[in-house]
Structure 1
Amino acid sequence: MSGSGAGPIGAPGREVLLGAVRGQRRDVALGAVLGAAHQTGEALVPVLIGVVIDQAVAGGDAGALARGLAVLAVVYVGLSFGFRFGARAGERAAEQAAHTLRTRLVRRVLHPGGGAEQGRLPGALATIATEDAKRVGAVAMAVMAGTSALAGLLVGAVVLLRISVPLGLVVLLGTPLLLWLGHLLGKPLERRSEAERERAAYSSGVAADLVTGLRVLKGLGAEPAAVARYRRTSRDSLVATLRAARAEAAQNGVVLALTGCFIALVALTGGRLAAEGRISLGELVSALGLALFLLGPLEVFAWVNADLAQGRASARRVAEVLAAPPAVTAGGALPPRIVRGAVRLRGVAHGGLREVDLEVAPGELLGVAATDPADATALLRCLGRQADPGTGTVELDGVSLRELDPADVRAAVLVAEHEADLFEGTLRDNVAAAMPGDAPPGTLDRAMAAAGADEIARALPRGADTVVSERGRSLSGGQRQRVALARALAADRPVLVVHDPTTAVDAVTEARIAAGIRELRRGRTTILLTTSPALLAVTDRVILLHEGRVGDAATHADLVRRHPGYRAAVLS
């Protein structure tokens, strides 16, 4: 892919994890240093208490007691500072890593070459870009916390070695074993976490799909079937989530039990050494305090293992999206400096299309009436280069679209599909979303008038500055169609392909829109894929697509008079 910034193709999950940490290495390093300072301070507290007991309490030295308490106060201030600012740096690294990853995912999904959405519902992509990205970002915090805990363990081990070699060896030999067991216990959690995220993403996708088609479902009376489908999907997601939760609980419980046994072993060893007189009372207190302190770092390691297991599972899902091959690849040719708008199809076969030959002259207003809606969809995908035809070529001003970068094709050819979504914002912002920055004054108003969207603005409380809700749900179906058409017209592309833009408007408004499109697009190539007689009547020429082939070509009036198949498709 070119120009996407979506990340390297084929990036495995491990590279995604490492990249998330490397990208925030400054905050991770700062957090690790400050966290290590906090853990070092925590480890020194029982040591200082032991020293105070030996020098001040046992010896009855009040001055030594005061000095010891002052040192303890300084240590507490330092470790508090280290925790506060270290945790802040770690959280910042985690959030920034997740944000960066979300940005990469959005770039990949929106890349002109497409392909990321193949086999995935929109809701599933949203889950990957939110929850999975968040889990991968949390790995930066886990690395920082793990490094800090390791520093605390090392300091505790060194102190224990100085107190007693047997105690130090117990810690140094037992800790790696405990970590290895925690890693093994994390494997089932990793597998179940991945299954849980897959089920959750699919469930979100089904929910988004059902909400989008809610009106259609109500019209068909299919709500019970839709609810039953979502219940099954949600139940599967719940089962996967419970399995992952049980695996996490089992891992944490077993690791905590092993940790408790380990701490008990350290305390038992220290107690025997004190009973034999090989260490002092203060050193015994220090050893027991360190044994209790070690519980904290070891619990952190259990949490880090769980976080890494979930992060690895999410990273694999993120990597799959980033590594998804593009639906169309960029060619090496450059588009014409000035696009005239000549479109030509030679022997195109794609979907239901069979050997389609078609020429559109620059500035022509062409109508295409397809007897099969699937053929219209296939033609749209080829003209917008959402897919390359299996055989044949689609050319723009003599250059094959296959040889152009998809972004260059979209800059010259705008395909306005029938199901066009609006976004949350004002009516004016929706129409001006794709309008070029150098558009002449009045472009937006002319586009709205041509699409009949000016009537909508006059009927709204604040006119064109009225806020439209998400996906335009505050507007009726016909209003959404007119706003979407106005947006396509305001984009002012050299070639505009419009698919059924007036199916939800009344006949009078449709006739006005047809005249507006013809007037506004005069001199620029426009292709109307529709079976609306009002729209086809204003075109220069109409192509009839029947059974995947060009069945006839003439003016709308001539086709109505001479072709029964055309009459059935357009007038029925």
Structure 2
Amino acid sequence: MPAGGPTGGHVLRGAIRGRRRSVVAASLLGMGHQTCEALVPVIVGVIIDEAVAKGSSGTLLRLLVLLGVVFLVLSTCYRVGARITEAAGEQATHRLRLDLGARVLDPRGGADADRLPGALTSIATNDARRVGAAVTVLSYGASALAALAVSAVALLRISVPLGLLVLLGIPPLLWLGHRISGPLERRSETEQERAAHASGVAADLVDGLRVLKGMGAESAAVSRYRRTSQDSLAAALRAARSRAGHEGAVLALTGVFIAVIAVVGAYLAMRGTISVGELVAAVGLAQFLLGPFQLLTFVNAEFAQGRASARRIAEVLAAPAAVEPGGAALPDPVAGRLRLRGVTLGALRGVDLDLAPGSLTGVVTGDPAAAQDLLRCLAREADPADGVIELDGVPLTDLHPDDVRRAVLVAPHDADLFETSLLDNVRGPDTPATAVERALTASAADEVARLLPDGADSVLTERGRSLSGGQRQRVALARALAADRPVLVLHDPTTAVDTVTESRIAARLRDLRRDRTTVLVTTSPALLAVTDRVVVLDGGAVTAEGRHADLVAADPAYRAAVLA
């Protein structure tokens, strides 16, 4: 975790501070509820001594009315306080999810480094919920402490030894309970990590299910998930055993403590130090104390898990940015001239490339890693380790990532669709209707719309799975074209499209993007045939360039790459 970034303590305290008014209100109501609960055995003891023993029906009636009022107050306080504290927990959880979402979507990137998408989902759901639960139980802890304090005062009024026994016995019990929660906190963190990893692996496997089936790798995928799931289950069982041991140990300690209070009270009654009513009140308070101690045990366990989850959330929020924003202004207007000089990152090794404004350039590489690293550089998801990329003479590192992406759109090969209409998947908030129509036509996505029951207004299923692979690609391509950025970079946009449709798309793409800079990272002969020139990357560097037809005729390696 970088210096100065939020820690788990910051996250947990921030969640509590954000809902402090609700927590304070709920705590006061909870304290009122527990105070009234503690007063019930005291009032019953007074009824025995002042009404039953003396045979006073008037006193009995008054005390019974008082007891009814106490029950009314305690039930009202509990009902209202529970609503407030549950709402505070849900709101804290929602706030954390918004913060996590903002960090993941931050244009500087970095939050998803070394994390599967499913793992981030688990952190935003399970871990955020556990921190919210810690906020929820805070008022319960305050009410339990109030109950202990009221019980101690009541016992002091009944008998100083009994009161001192409670006052002196509570701090060691609370300290022991905190010490016992240590293993639970550690195992809870491991449990959440394993569960997040299992969720990430599952999402990864489901996303690549068709590829796995095509490769015949289903059994290997099942074995991988089975191992991951078993590790997650083992961690969950260890955490459950730890929680059970924690609760059992604390309850055993509190049970012994309450038994000691009852025995001491009985001894004092036998010696005549306290009355029968006071003995009943003391025994009732001793029994009542079991509730606050159980509540504190629950609060301690929830806080242990909340602290573990807060640390995992803090790791995401404090993740270092992949790129830092620069202070230069975006050229206005953007002509679209791209210049790469000595660009080195990952599989790229000193790439030099000039793309003129309005040019249509193909990039061919047999190394998928080189293609991905080139896309990351152009999208400014990562900055080159060496070299520079310029847009109209301004280095991308001097621009804010948002500005770069307003000028340069990098459309990845595996673009996802959303669970909304086909039309909404294509158009942006400010996209003119004419631009959407041209994009649908150029990508042949209008043909897809005609096959759907409600045309372009047909609602797609999650990730567009109601469409075939080629249909999804056409809709994703239409979305990229409709954005109409000065620079558009497309990565294998037609791999699942039939040859005839691909040829139509290639011709329409050239017409639509005329006078706009376009880069096609692909090995498709149909797309490469309409480019102005093709650049070949081999070993991470530019090894050849020229027109597609010339390279096919003169370069056997190129011919094998694009025609095989």
The alignment's TM-score, normalised by the length of structure 1, stands at: 0.97
1:426-466 C-alpha deviation (Å, 9 max, x unpaired): 1111112xx251x3332111111111100000000111111
User: Which residue is equivalent to 2:442?
Assistant: 450
1:512 aligned to which of 504, 513, 528: 504
The SS at the match of 1:354 is strand
Q: Which amino acid is 1:291 matched to?
A: A
Which of the numbers 269, 284, 291 marks the counterpart of 2:279? 284
How far the C-alpha of 1:305 sits from its partner, in A, is: 0.8
Map of 2:457 onto structure 1: 465
Structure 1 residues 440 and 237: CA distance shift in structure 2, 3 A: closer
Which of 490, 510, 521 pairs up with 2:513?
521
Residue in 1 that maps onto 2:403: 408
Determine whether 1:485 maps to 2:469: no
Alpha-carbon separation, structure 2, partners of 1:516 and 1:164: 94
Q: How far did 1:374 drift?
A: 2.0
Give the Å deviation of 1:8.
10
- Displacement, 1:477? 0.5
By how many angstroms is 1:553 displaced? Answer: 2.1
**Which residue of structure 2 lines up, in the alignment, with residue 260 of structure 1?**
255
Q: Is the 8 A contact 1:436 1:491 kept in 2?
A: no
Is the contact made by 1:345 and 1:395 (CA closer than 8 Å) also made in structure 2?
yes
* Contact 1:94/1:138, CA 8 A, preserved across alignment: yes
On the 8 A contact 1:412/1:494 being kept in 2, the answer is yes
Q: Deviations over 1:172-201 (max 9, x none)?
A: 111111111110110010111111111111
Structure 2 counterpart of 1:544, one-letter code: V
Q: Which runs of structure 2 are paired with 1:103-252 in the superposition (5 Å)?
A: 103-252=98-247
Whether 1:540 aligns to 2:523 is no
In 2, Cα distance between the equivalents of 1:440 and 1:225? Answer: 48
Equivalent residue of 1:468, what SS?
A: coil
Question: Which of 556, 559, 562 lines up with 1:564 in the alignment?
Answer: 556
Give me the whole-angstrom Cα distance separating, in 2, the residues matched to 1:428 and 1:524: 24
Deviation at 1:9, TM superposition (A): 5.7
Out of 345, 365, 375, the residue aligned to residue 340 of structure 2 is 345
SS class of match (1:415): strand
Name whichever of 442-451 and 35-44 sits farther off: 442-451
Secondary structure of residue in 1 paired with 2:397 = helix
SS in 1 for 2:154: helix
1:476 has 2:468 as partner: yes
Once residues 295 and 264 of structure 2 are traced to their aligned partners in structure 1, the CA distance between those partners, rounded to angstroms, is 24
CA distance in 1, matches of 2:205, 2:368: 22
What is the aligned-residue RMSD (CA, Å)?
Answer: 1.3
Q: Distance in 2 between matches of 1:232 and 1:425?
A: 36
* Deviation at residue 472 of structure 1 after TM alignment: 1.2
Distance 1:10 1:68 in 2: 58
Question: What is the CA–CA distance in structure 1 between the aligned matches of 2:127 and 2:511, rounded to whole Å?
Answer: 49
Matching residue's letter, 2:356: A
Aligned twin of 2:310: 315
One-letter code of the match for 2:434?
Answer: G
Question: Is the Cα–Cα contact under 8 Å of residues 43 and 152 in structure 1 kept in the other structure?
Answer: yes
Q: Is the 8 A contact 1:193 1:310 kept in 2?
A: yes
1:565 CA displacement: 2.2
Q: CA deviation at 1:562?
A: 2.3
Moved more, 450-459 or 216-225: 216-225
Amino acid at match of 2:529: A
Contact 1:10 1:323 in 2 (8 A): yes
Matched residue, 1:554? 546
Displacement of 1:227 in angstroms is 0.8
Q: 1:422 aligns with which of 407, 417, 439?
A: 417
Query: 1:9 touches 1:325 (CA, 8 Å); kept in 2?
Result: no
CA distance in 2, matches of 1:85, 1:191: 34
Where 2:409 maps in the other structure, the secondary structure is strand
The correspondence for 1:36, drawn from 31, 35, 55, is 31
Aligned to 2:522, which of 530, 535, 540?
530
Q: Where does residue 351 of structure 2 map in the other structure?
A: 356
The equivalent of 1:398 in structure 2 is: 393
What is the aligned counterpart of 1:78 among 73, 77, 97?
73
User: In the alignment, is the contact (CA less than 8 A) between 1:50 and 1:286 conserved in 2?
Assistant: yes
CA apart distance, 1:484: 0.6
Counterpart code for 2:186: R
Alpha-carbon distance in structure 1 between the residues aligned to 2:325 and 2:441: 37
Q: TM-score, normalising length from structure 2? A: 0.98
For structure 2, the residue ranges without an aligned partner over 5 or more in a row are none
